[in-house]
Chains A and B, each alone.
Chain A
Amino acid sequence: MIKALSSRIFFRSILIFNAVMVLVPVLFLINSSLRETNDFARNPIKLATSPHWANFSSVWANGAFATYLKNSLIITVGSTILILTLALGAGFVLGRYTFKGQNFIMGFILSGMLVPAKLAILPLFIQLKWMHLLDSHLGLILVYTSGALPAAIFIMSGFFRSLPADLDSAARIDGASEFQLLRRVLAPLVRPGLSIVAIYSAIPIWNDFFLPLVFLQTPEKKTIMQGLTVFFGEYSSQWGIIFAGLTLAALPLIVLYLILSEQFIKGLTAGAVKG
């Protein structure tokens, strides 16, 4: 009895310790973003009792920051919409139809999941340059789409396959065209799959550092993660502004995560966990 109780206390303290380790740095970051640089330098560990919002207006006044955020948003939203559209269509065809060469196409798509983007970076760089897609958001969107698409099609075709076959014949008897069948009948039913694919694609794209570093050169085209490295260099000892910048870059995702944590966990571990 006592042993069971003490083991429960032990495992609970593991979780509490872990929660403290996770939350304290994040709270420190947010807290410090509301403190004046001089005040911070005098004593780094203190609560921001009178919030110094000016840090955030300084970040915003540096117009580049808003541009970085906007660029990241364009690239992430653009890629995600393209991935969802293409994966919805391809997933429907591969999950609901049977046709010649289907296994070959599925195998080809699966092989695309094995190629690490970093390996192909040099030919991709030269190819994008040749296609006039280097240093462009569209080029980056296409590369991200291509990278996420194999897994996205795989996930979506699984969702389509799991729907009962009667749905199709019933809709066809009612006179629905194939497009109407997909749009009105099946697409609403695979929405959980779409949300997994959206998170699986959008989060790594928003967070990505490597591809924008290589493919984007014009300062006005850079993404927020690249922008932070510029920003960090520019304000190297102005702690208040640095923390405000980091907070501003991290906060959108934190808020989304707190609302949709279950979907985030499912989406980001998709492929690694069965079911």
Chain B
Amino acid sequence: MSKTGLQREQRKFTFLLLAPGLLTIIIFTSIPALTTLSYAFFHWKGFQRGSFAGFENFHRLFSFPFKDQFLMALRHNLLVFVGIFTLQTAAGILIAYSLYRMIKGQRFFRTVTFLPVIFSLVIVGYMWQALLDPFYGPVNNILHSIGLDSLARTWLGSTSTALPTLVFINLWRWVGFPAIIFLSGFNAINQEYLEAARIDGASEGQIFRKVMFPLLAPSMTIVAILTFIGAFEWFDLPYVLGGSSGGPAGATDTLALMFYRLSFGSVDSGANEIGIGSALGVLIFSIVGVGAAFGSKYLRSREVDV
């Protein structure tokens, strides 16, 4: 085959193989993502776009009755982020280090650790709803049978325990993910550093704190950023267990739930407010985008180059 013939065939092939994929991304990701910003600056009647609204939608989001909802949801997202990040990082590192130190049987425990990650949050949510049922749930039953009656409660039904309970369920489902990330972080550490520290007489605890933990920083960056994004887009679990209004009594309401109610209408009020919903969407995206950008910049700067 002549050179030009090959080039012509390659050019044809390039177009043929790239175009369908690129077109799909442009139509179903790029165009919606770009137009979403404009939605916040228009009046909407149902799904019909009206006149230009300027910043009115943002203004309405920050006045009665949306302002209080927004602030409460934002507070919940922040609490969820702090709670999930602290617990998942601590538990994840502990599990990862235990796996790292294990020579025989690591595969079994690794498989078990990651198992809940493959479950849908819908299944996880309902499974825990059953486990935590105030009357028939085994958790309260066990507490009663070992005489800890005072600890038994309506975990998901009371405003004070609902959010922490959701954070715990989230931990159950997700901790295997950071654990595996941290494990590969531990595995990536050069054995020579550990040998050198051992020769210098450092204890295992000192080696962990002074050598391994700092070298874990790249894994920490990934886990922190993913947790941050996940926490501010938290939707499935609170929706499955508390409905679109974040029950009981808004105790588990989040920004994503509020965005959903405004966009597609809530059970109680019915009507949707696309303009205000889009304004909230822009805000959520800014929080996530700015937070993730600054967070990763800061976290990267503390990664040691070796």
Task: Report if B301 contacts A (CB, 8 A).
Answer: no
Q: Could you tell me the distance in whole angstroms from the C-beta of B297 to the nearest C-beta in chain A? A: 15
Q: B72 interface residue, CB < 8 Å from A?
A: no
List residues of A (30-83) whose CB comes within 8 Å of B's CBs.
Answer: 32, 40-41, 44-45
B24 touches A86 (CB 8 A): yes
Task: Contacts A12-B102, A146-B24 given; indicate if A272 touches B222 (C-beta within 8 A).
Answer: yes
Measured in the bound complex, the distance between the Cα atoms of B36 and A179 in whole Å is 39
Q: Once bound together, how far apart are the Cα atoms of A23 and B10, in whole Å? A: 53
Q: Does A163 contact B (CB under 8 A)?
A: no
- Mask for A188-210, Cβ within 8 A of B = 1, else 0? 00000000000000010011111
> Is there a chain B Cβ closer than 8 Å to A103's Cβ?
no
In which size bucket is the chain B interface? 35 or more
Which one, B77-85, B156-164, B233-241, is touching chain A? B233-241
Q: Which of B110, B236, B277 contacts A265 (CB 8 A)?
A: B110
Residues from chain A with a CB closer than 8 A to the CB of B47 are: 125-126, 129
Interface pair A45/B138, CB less than 8 Å apart: yes
CA distance A179 to B14 in the complex (A): 11
In chain B, what residue has the closest Cβ to A129?
A: B47
Q: Mark B264-306, 1 if CB is under 8 A from A, else 0.
A: 1000000000100110010011001000000000000000000
**Known contacts A29-B127, A120-B33, A146-B28; 8 further A-B pairs (Cβ under 8 A):** A22-B113, A26-B115, A86-B24, A89-B20, A115-B30, A120-B32, A127-B27, A249-B123
Interface residues of A (CB under 8 A from B): 4, 7-8, 11-12, 14-15, 18-19, 21-23, 25-26, 28-29, 32, 40-41, 44-45, 86-87, 89-90, 92-94, 97, 99, 105, 108-109, 112, 115-116, 118-127, 129, 142-143, 145-147, 149-150, 153, 172, 175, 177-179, 203, 206-210, 213-214, 225, 228-229, 232, 239, 242-243, 246, 249-250, 253-254, 257-258, 261, 264-265, 268-269, 272-273
The 27 listed contacts between A and B (C-beta, < 8 Å) are: A4-B204, A19-B113, A25-B128, A29-B127, A90-B18, A92-B17, A93-B14, A93-B18, A97-B10, A99-B14, A108-B22, A120-B36, A121-B281, A122-B281, A123-B32, A123-B39, A124-B28, A142-B28, A145-B28, A147-B28, A149-B24, A172-B6, A207-B119, A228-B123, A239-B130, A253-B119, A261-B111
